[in-house]
Chain A
Amino acid sequence: MRRFAKAILGLGLVLALGLAAAPATAQTPRKGGTLRILVHPEPPHVVTALGQASGTVTIGGKIFEGLLTFDFGLNPKPGLAERWERSADGLTYTFHLRRNAKWHDGKPFTAADVVFTTQEFLMKTHPRARSVFSRVASVETPDDHTVVYKLKERFSPFLYAFELSGAPMMPKHIYAGTEFDKNPANAKPVGTGPFRFVSWTRGESLQLERNPDYYREGRPYLDAISFHFIPDAAARTVALEQGLVDQAQFDAVQFTDLERLKKNPALTIADKGQEFIAPLILMDMNSRRPPFGDKRFRKALLHSIDRNFIKDRIFYGQGKVPTGPISSSTRYYISDVPRYDYDPEKAKALLDEMGLKPGADGTRAEIKILALPYGDHWTRLGEYLRESFRRVGVRATVENTDPGNWIQRYTNWDYDIVYTFFYQYADPALGVARTYLCSNVRKVFLANANGYCNQRIDDLFSAATSETDEAKKQAAYDEIQKTLIEDLPTAPLLELQFPVVLNRRVHDAITTAHGPNDAYADAWLAR
């Protein structure tokens, strides 16, 4: 009997696997068609090298390319560079460029463009790139298709800087000697990507067409991509539901609409494609202000929060409950760290231990939450935190403000508790270290605002950044993660997955760690 049951089970498994695998193999890409994408809000421009607003990167990512792209596991893949190598001492990086890549105006893409982009253009316009490329001692171009970077000191995350939003390649023959942000080419961008700029009717739509000279044979499959700007959220949802557009991502989709969109058989929601940015929502606690200086207080607050509720009810299942300061899709993440389960009793015990006994009205302490003014779900999160804290006797009030004021107060350390999301940028040295380094306690937006300072952490980050031995690097990050989750200067609330909604007729769109920002050379539309 049992054997029979096993056989049935096995048969079922085979069938299930077969069915699951079938659609992936059965369909061959089809050429042609226009992919229609909703973008909200409409970006001020689409030149990725000049600014990285989400709409700019989604559109600009199809026009401009980086030397590398990254797969879901964050391994480098060829972009404009077809090969690359790192010297044994970790100081020299050599990129071999595609020989048949051309700018949209027909001029060849060469090593001179790469040097111009990283050492001149981005130095003026892109703070994140500047912090990486200022580490370069010299760049050589032995021939038109080879670029050799020599670094001042070892910097192991170097390759991650060459991704599409970190170092989008810009044409030297158009921009050299001009004011980059005032160049007329910004209105009619010239890149190397699979799609060329056609037109932009402000407030309505932006059109790209297939680049027939693209260096990858037979790519792209699509004839064109059009981006549509619809300011009204309800109208955007209807456009998706009725199949008037094929894709919407990031702020173009409201979390509150996800339940109904999931039920629509024509639509699917991507669960991959944000490994590179890996947005992690942190609750930042200002350690300068009592009682936040005591880590038992910070721990008590985290124990009072049901992070599954945040994930399921506020962000409608879009994400994962984090375990530590590094997102699980980022390099060097470990899961083996102390956990902070939802446990209000433990929170109360910690507060008791600190001597914060409840007063006559049950209040142990009073704190303020500076709510993030970026939309309804962020307001709900603030309200949820307030009620969670109240349940353990910490009386919290929410402060509402406008985005400008919010940034100013966060930047100038004028808060008790603030929460927002941080991009990880693949390597913890790029997106994680900034929040915890003593050397980054500065009044600069998204620097170390909470005031946490532990020299050991600075040393470990600096060791990991210059280490090229993966095992040693991992060991440094192990200790960093264990220390930070124990000290808890910030509390990780959610590994956020922004909503990306696709019509099922769209295939092979989300194929890299850049998700909807990718160039879409492989994307195709079924009939």
Chain B
Amino acid sequence: MTAFQRFRTNLAACVGLAILAAMVLLAATAPLIFPTSPWEMVGEPYLRPLEGPYLLGTDMLGRDIAAGIAHGARVSLMLALVATVAATGLGILLGAFAGYCGGAVDEVVMRATEFFQTIPSFLLAVVLVALFSPSILSIVVAIAVVSWPGVARLVRGQFLSLRQAEFVQAALVLGEPTWRIIFRQILPNAIGPVIVTASLMVATAILLESSLSFLGLGDPDLMSWGYMIGASRNLIRDAWWMCTFPGVAIFLTVLSINLVGDGLGDALNPRLTA
């Protein structure tokens, strides 16, 4: 049974994938469905869902909440993806060298990961964003910086065990250069768990970005779900729809990514043959 077949038979993972695909589609088509800026005050403030021409109502300044959700999907998914790619890249690079070289390199890298892992990651992200003033770049960097150590440790573990494998010994004897052994021999065999971790990291990144925006540390020019909740949290007793819909969007997206991630984990695990 191939990995794809295993994934396909996993109902939860398929549901997750469907929701995620819908979110990606929404993000991709946001500028077509809602051509005006999500910040544009299009209508009367405080419109309830379906009360006016706006599906999910308007917020306290009369901004279309549906437009905010769609454009927020772009921001959330894009930011999370970029941050994850950056964190994973850094984690793989450092973890691979640490695991392969061992010795002093390993010591240094592992002490560095411990340094980052002992600081509460959200607080570190808050400090970093506040320090470099909130912008899309500082948020991506902050999320990447707090996320890479997990990947690095995982990759290092994989490398430590695979380094002794026979195909690696063979490559060494054949005189392959070190970088080739690392990236062409060991990495492809170690990548399965990394993909699973990375997919789950996207969900964490979305939550991190939302939390930062909720606290007012988002990019002030980008509409994001966390911002929408943060801006309307005072109004929850009077206008439930303003923070409920972005909350549902975050919930669905994070849930779907987790389902897909778990599905991938099962599918890529060769020992599971259900």
- Chain A contact residues, CB within 8 Å of chain B: 233-234, 254, 256-257, 259-260, 313-314, 371, 373, 376, 379-380, 382-384, 386-387, 390, 397-402
**Contact partners of A254 in chain B: CB under 8 A:** 234
**Contact partners of A379 in chain B: CB under 8 A:** 216, 231
| CB of B220 closer than 8 Å to a CB of A | yes
Tell me if B220 and A314 are in contact (CB < 8 A).
no
Tell me if B133 and A399 are in contact (CB < 8 A).
yes
Tell me if A313 and B234 are in contact (CB < 8 A).
no
**Contact partners of A402 in chain B: CB under 8 A:** 130
Which of A314, A397, A398 touches B61 (beta carbons < 8 Å)? A314
Tell me if B238 and A259 are in contact (CB < 8 A).
yes
**Contact partners of B45 in chain A: CB under 8 A:** 313
Count how many pairs of residues, one from A and one from B, have CB atoms less than 8 Å apart in the complex: 52
The closest CB in chain B to the CB of A256 belongs to B234
- Interface positions, chain B 35-86, Cβ under 8 Å from A, are 37, 39-41, 45, 60-62
Tell me if A400 and B133 are in contact (CB < 8 A).
yes
Which of B45, B133, B217, B221 is most buried by chain A, counting CB atoms within 10 A of its CB?
A: B221
Tell me if A256 and B60 are in contact (CB < 8 A).
yes
Which of A256, A257, A387, A400 touches B220 (beta carbons < 8 Å)? A400
Tell me if A383 and B238 are in contact (CB < 8 A).
no
Tell me if B231 and A398 are in contact (CB < 8 A).
no
* Among all A-B residue pairs, the 5 with the closest Cβ atoms: A398-B220, A256-B234, A400-B220, A397-B221, A400-B134
| CB of B111 closer than 8 Å to a CB of A | no
A233 to B237, CA, bound (A): 12
Which of A233, A313, A382 touches B60 (beta carbons < 8 Å)? A313
**Contact partners of A259 in chain B: CB under 8 A:** 238
Which of B221, B234, B237, B238 touches A398 (beta carbons < 8 Å)? B221
| CB of B25 closer than 8 Å to a CB of A | no
The closest CB in chain B to the CB of A306 belongs to B41
| CB of B235 closer than 8 Å to a CB of A | yes
Tell me if A380 and B60 are in contact (CB < 8 A).
yes
Q: Mark B189-200, 1 if CB is under 8 A from A, else 0.
A: 000000000000
Q: A398-B221, A400-B134 are in contact. Are A383 and B61 (CB under 8 A)?
A: yes
Tell me if B60 and A383 are in contact (CB < 8 A).
no
Tell me if B216 and A400 are in contact (CB < 8 A).
yes
Tell me if A401 and B133 are in contact (CB < 8 A).
yes
Tell me if B39 and A371 are in contact (CB < 8 A).
no
A142 to B220, CA, bound (A): 62
The closest CB in chain A to the CB of B234 belongs to A256
The closest CB in chain B to the CB of A396 belongs to B221
**Contact partners of B130 in chain A: CB under 8 A:** 402
Which of A259, A313, A397 is most buried by chain B, counting CB atoms within 10 A of its CB?
A: A313
**Contact partners of B221 in chain A: CB under 8 A:** 386, 397-398
Which of B37, B61, B134 touches A313 (beta carbons < 8 Å)? B61
A296 to chain B, nearest CB (A): 25
A399 to B61, CA, bound (A): 19
Tell me if A386 and B235 are in contact (CB < 8 A).
no
**Contact partners of A398 in chain B: CB under 8 A:** 220-221
Tell me if A256 and B235 are in contact (CB < 8 A).
yes
Q: A376-B231, A379-B231, A384-B41 are in contact. Are A371 and B220 (CB under 8 A)?
A: yes
B125 to chain A, nearest CB (A): 16
16 contacts between A and B (CB under 8 A): A234-B234, A260-B237, A260-B238, A376-B231, A376-B234, A379-B216, A379-B231, A380-B60, A382-B220, A383-B61, A387-B37, A387-B39, A387-B41, A397-B220, A397-B221, A402-B130
A126 to B208, CA, bound (A): 44
A133 to chain B, nearest CB (A): 41
**Contact partners of B40 in chain A: CB under 8 A:** 387
A400 to B217, CA, bound (A): 8
A492 to B205, CA, bound (A): 42
The closest CB in chain B to the CB of A387 belongs to B39
Tell me if A386 and B39 are in contact (CB < 8 A).
yes
A387 to B217, CA, bound (A): 20
Tell me if A257 and B234 are in contact (CB < 8 A).
yes
A407 to B258, CA, bound (A): 44
Tell me if B39 and A383 are in contact (CB < 8 A).
yes
A314 to chain B, nearest CB (A): 7
A153 to chain B, nearest CB (A): 47
**Contact partners of A386 in chain B: CB under 8 A:** 39, 221
20 new A-B contacts at CB < 8 Å, known A376-B234, A380-B60, A401-B133: A233-B234, A234-B234, A234-B237, A256-B234, A256-B238, A259-B238, A260-B238, A313-B45, A314-B61, A379-B231, A380-B61, A380-B231, A383-B220, A397-B220, A398-B221, A400-B133, A400-B134, A400-B216, A400-B217, A402-B130
**Contact partners of B238 in chain A: CB under 8 A:** 256, 259-260
The closest CB in chain A to the CB of B220 belongs to A398
**Contact partners of B39 in chain A: CB under 8 A:** 383, 386-387
B181 to chain A, nearest CB (A): 48
The closest CB in chain A to the CB of B221 belongs to A397
A314 to B238, CA, bound (A): 15
A61 to B220, CA, bound (A): 39
- Interface positions, chain B 8-47, Cβ under 8 Å from A, are 37, 39-41, 45
Tell me if B37 and A390 are in contact (CB < 8 A).
yes
A402 to B234, CA, bound (A): 20
- Interface positions, chain B 129-169, Cβ under 8 Å from A, are 130, 133-134
**Contact partners of A380 in chain B: CB under 8 A:** 60-61, 231
- Interface positions, chain B 220-259, Cβ under 8 Å from A, are 220-221, 231, 234-235, 237-238
A383 to B216, CA, bound (A): 13
The closest CB in chain B to the CB of A259 belongs to B238
A102 to chain B, nearest CB (A): 46
A231 to chain B, nearest CB (A): 14
**Contact partners of A382 in chain B: CB under 8 A:** 220
A521 to B167, CA, bound (A): 91
A387 to chain B, nearest CB (A): 5
B173 to chain A, nearest CB (A): 59
**Contact partners of A384 in chain B: CB under 8 A:** 41, 61
A376 to chain B, nearest CB (A): 6
A85 to B85, CA, bound (A): 77
**Contact partners of A234 in chain B: CB under 8 A:** 234, 237
The closest CB in chain A to the CB of B130 belongs to A402
**Contact partners of A260 in chain B: CB under 8 A:** 237-238
**Contact partners of B234 in chain A: CB under 8 A:** 233-234, 254, 256-257, 376
The closest CB in chain B to the CB of A395 belongs to B221
**Contact partners of A314 in chain B: CB under 8 A:** 61
A256 to B45, CA, bound (A): 13
**Contact partners of B237 in chain A: CB under 8 A:** 234, 260
B245 to chain A, nearest CB (A): 18
A314 to B61, CA, bound (A): 7
**Contact partners of B216 in chain A: CB under 8 A:** 373, 379, 400
Which of B40, B61, B217 is most buried by chain A, counting CB atoms within 10 A of its CB?
A: B61
B14 to chain A, nearest CB (A): 40
A241 to chain B, nearest CB (A): 10
A254 to B236, CA, bound (A): 13
**Contact partners of B62 in chain A: CB under 8 A:** 313
A383 to B238, CA, bound (A): 22
